[in-house]
Amino acid sequence: MKTFEYRGFDASGRAAKGLVEALDVKDARERLAGRDILPERIHPVGESRVRPHRLFRDDFGLPARAMAYREIGALVRSGLPLAQVLEVLISAPEMGDSRSKLADIRDRVREGSSFADALVRSSPKVGAFEKAVIEVGERSGTLDEVLSRLAGFLDEQQTISERIQTALIYPAIVFSVAVAVAVLMLGLLIPRVTKLLEESSIPLPLLTRVALGAGHWILPVLLAILAAGVLAAAVFRRRMKTDPGWSERVDRKLFRLPWFSRGYTALMNLRFARTLSILIRGGVPLVEGFAMAGRATGNAWITRLAVDGAESVRQGKSLAESVRLIEPLSLSLPGWIQVGEASGKLGDLLDNAAGRFQQQWEKSVARSLTVLEPVLVLGVGVFVLLVALSILLPILTLNRTLM
């Protein structure tokens, strides 16, 4: 049995949509006909389709995944099988548009896929970190605990994301208005004022001449920059997926970017420590857990170094010494691990370290936002001032001439 998503009309002519389990499309239509539903469109839930009304909708984003993980964890803890848990969530109205994703995941689980593999194959939004953590839960038999921890982490991610978006709303509005004003003034108003001054044989100020020159190329350049940016982003994403060596070099340079590197390093340490703690508590062997924790960071460079570090642990080196060889994790995390190894409470120490790195990360993000907003506003203000002066200066010159 497969799950199909349909849109159509019921017997009273009202729009209807939902999910139906059937052997194939023909069987699905027959089942819907038995419910007095005339389907207009029907397709398997796993089939990728982009419709205009969903182009900018995030059906399985961070909030939806966090809710799903939390509910799945609670139901698994009650003793229900995973397929039955997903069945319960699919019938829950509060899951909204995520129900089609959950139905696809349920179908894949029924076919024998693991929950982690089914998630990744159903939704590209599920990253390496989430997959690695869920794999740990499945292997260790602690899926309920893992999903609860993961849901909390995603909630924290969403909170930070919302704070960033909220902080950028005002600068974004100001910047958009400034660009619109600049296009209007440079492309329309300044040329007309300049034409009037040229007829009066009045020399143009340098700032006005620069603005007049900018008015001729501002629209073509903006369009060219926009097109080049979209093309570069597409090429960059494709190469990151297809070229592991290049992806590793890019990820390595992220730790050297000014202002960004400190918060990013704290985030990588946070992911590594939290994932490794979950792995150890779940009973996963340390060698295997080391490599999986590195992969959970989502950074290709750390992933490769973690694989090498896991091999050194296999050969008898301590975990703290192996982590110290991973440059982004070598500052304070090895000290926490060393204390944990000595006391026999490695899981607790890793949790404490993760909490410390989370505080550093949140402070770094808050500090960056505090600085970014006034810088953007100041830059836009200076730009608008220069445009205004380029218009006012020739007008003042004309007034002095007439007087």
DSSP codes, 13-82: S-EEEEEEEESSHHHHHHHHHHTT-EEEEEEETTS----GGGTT--TTSHHHHHHHHHHHHHHHHTT--H
| Amino acid code (one letter) for 394 | P
> What number of helices (H) and strands (E) belong to the chain?
16, 3
Q: How far apart are CA 281 and CA 270, in angstroms?
A: 17
Q: Residue 265: what pLDDT? A: 92
Q: Residue 193: what pLDDT? A: 66
Q: Give the residue-averaged pLDDT of 136-155.
A: 83
| Residue 79 burial class via C-beta count within 10 angstroms: exposed 0-12, middle 13-18, buried 19 and up | exposed
Q: Reduced to 3 states, what is the DSSP secondary structure of residue 140? A: helix
Tokens coding 287: 């060698």
Q: Residue 206: what pLDDT? A: 80
Q: Nearest 5°: phi and psi at 22?
A: -160, 170
The position carrying tokens 């550093």 is 360
Are 36 and 10 contacting, i.e. CB atoms less than 8 angstroms apart?
yes
Q: How far apart are CA 4 and CA 8, in angstroms?
A: 13
Percent of the chain at pLDDT > 70 equals 88
The position carrying tokens 């509005």 is 173
Q: How far apart are CA 258 and CA 118, in angstroms?
A: 38
Q: Residue 353: what pLDDT? A: 92
Q: How far apart are CA 401 and CA 33, in angstroms?
A: 84
Q: What is the pLDDT of residues 23-69, one digit of tens each?
A: 878 888 888 888 888 888 887 886 655 444 443 445 678 888 888 89
Q: Reduced to 3 states, what is the DSSP secondary structure of residue 394? A: helix
Total length of the chain: 403
Q: Reduced to 3 states, what is the DSSP secondary structure of residue 6? A: strand
Q: Residue 50: what pLDDT? A: 45
Confidence (pTM): 0.69
The position carrying tokens 């924790």 is 293
Whether pLDDT at 239 is above 60: yes
Tell me what the pLDDT averaged over the chain comes to. 81
